[in-house]
């Protein structure tokens, strides 16, 4: 890992633990093991570090979870729908970078309007739009009965978001939360079959 990557990694850990305002450039430098002025060889300041972390997390999420622009292959069965979504949720819960950025954003959303919008996009609006498209396509394939895809998407993601938040607060509950997500996905499929 090069110095720039280490700066990003340690900054994210500090932001998740202490918040953006609670993390100084000096604290970042100390955690990385360099002098504070050396940070400025790699980044203009703390905001640039934050912007790069958000961009990295968004790319990683897009590649491993999807988005409203990248829904991936539409499932051909309820079983495939459940398994693909379990993979997405497991990635979200277990990926250390995504988990730390989510914890950081949840804390900061009440202090920073920009971060509040990013949090809403990642926890509600983005997944809802993505699942709205997936569900609409599954309705067209007659895998789900005809209903409002936007409302179905919201019904799908809301309990999952709550379970992910619980796993963030109580890391030891991850497996329990994943079991609850699977049960929820099965119930969702049975309800809209």
Our count of domains for the chain comes to 2
pLDDT at 70: 85
- Same domain membership, residue 136 and residue 85: yes
- As a whole number, the mean pLDDT across the chain is 94
- Same domain membership, residue 92 and residue 124: yes
Residue 48 CA to residue 158 CA, distance in Å, equals 32
- Same domain membership, residue 181 and residue 144: yes
- Same domain membership, residue 157 and residue 88: yes
In a domain, 60, yes or no: no
**CB neighbour list of residue 26: distance below 8 Å, 6 or more residues apart:** 36
In a domain, 124, yes or no: yes
Residue 40 CA to residue 89 CA, distance in Å, equals 37
pLDDT at 180: 98
- Same domain membership, residue 82 and residue 134: yes
In a domain, 119, yes or no: yes
pLDDT at 68: 83
Residue 160 CA to residue 172 CA, distance in Å, equals 17
Stretch (H or E) spanning 10: helix 3-18
Q: pTM value?
A: 0.89
Given a contact cutoff of 8 angstroms between Cβ atoms, the answer to whether 149 and 132 are in contact is: yes
- Same domain membership, residue 72 and residue 26: no
pLDDT digits (tens, 9 = 90+) for 92-109: 999 999 999 999 999 999
Residue 152: alpha-carbon gap to chain centroid: 20
Average pLDDT of 48-73? 90
Angle at Cα 159 formed by Cα 112 and Cα 135, nearest 5°? 100
Residue 2 Rama label (left phi>0; alpha psi -120 to 50; beta): beta
- Same domain membership, residue 76 and residue 36: no
| Residue located via tokens 């305002």 | 21
- Same domain membership, residue 41 and residue 77: no
- CATH number of the domain within which 46 lies: 1.10.10.60
- Same domain membership, residue 95 and residue 158: yes
Given a contact cutoff of 8 angstroms between Cβ atoms, the answer to whether 133 and 68 are in contact is: yes
In a domain, 59, yes or no: no
Whole domain around residue 89: which residue ranges?
A: 65-192
pLDDT digits (tens, 9 = 90+) for 144-167: 999 999 999 999 999 999 999 999
- Same domain membership, residue 157 and residue 106: yes
pLDDT at 136: 97
pLDDT digits (tens, 9 = 90+) for 168-191: 999 999 999 999 999 999 999 999
- Same domain membership, residue 145 and residue 76: yes
Residue 184 CA to residue 147 CA, distance in Å, equals 18
Percent of the chain with pLDDT over 90: 89
- Same domain membership, residue 81 and residue 28: no
Average pLDDT of 60-66? 89
- CATH number of the domain within which 177 lies: 1.10.357
Q: Given a cut of 90, is residue 66 above it in pLDDT?
A: no
pLDDT at 40: 92
In a domain, 58, yes or no: no
pLDDT digits (tens, 9 = 90+) for 31-59: 999 998 999 999 999 999 999 999 999 99
């Amino acid at each position: 890992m090069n110095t720039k990557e280490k700066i990003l990694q340690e900054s994210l850990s500090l932001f998740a633990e202490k918040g953006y305002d609670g993390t100084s450039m000096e604290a970042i430098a100390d955690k990385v093991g360099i002098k504070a002025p050396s940070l400025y060889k790699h980044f203009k300041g703390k905001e640039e570090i934050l912007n790069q972390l958000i961009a990295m997390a968004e790319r990683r999420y897009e590649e491993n979870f999807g988005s409203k622009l990248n829904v991936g292959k539409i499932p051909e069965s309820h079983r495939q729908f459940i398994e693909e979504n379990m993979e997405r949720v497991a990635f979200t819960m277990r990926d250390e970078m995504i988990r730390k950025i989510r914890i950081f954003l949840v804390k900061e959303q009440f202090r920073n309007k920009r971060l509040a919008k990013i949090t809403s996009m990642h926890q509600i609006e983005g997944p809802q739009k993505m699942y709205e498209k997936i569900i609409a396509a599954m309705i067209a394939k007659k895998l789900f009965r005809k209903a409002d895809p936007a409302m179905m998407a919201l019904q799908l993601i809301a309990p999952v978001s709550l379970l992910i938040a619980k796993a963030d607060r109580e890391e030891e509950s991850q497996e329990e939360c994943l079991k609850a997500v699977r049960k929820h996905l099965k119930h969702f499929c049975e309800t809209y079959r």
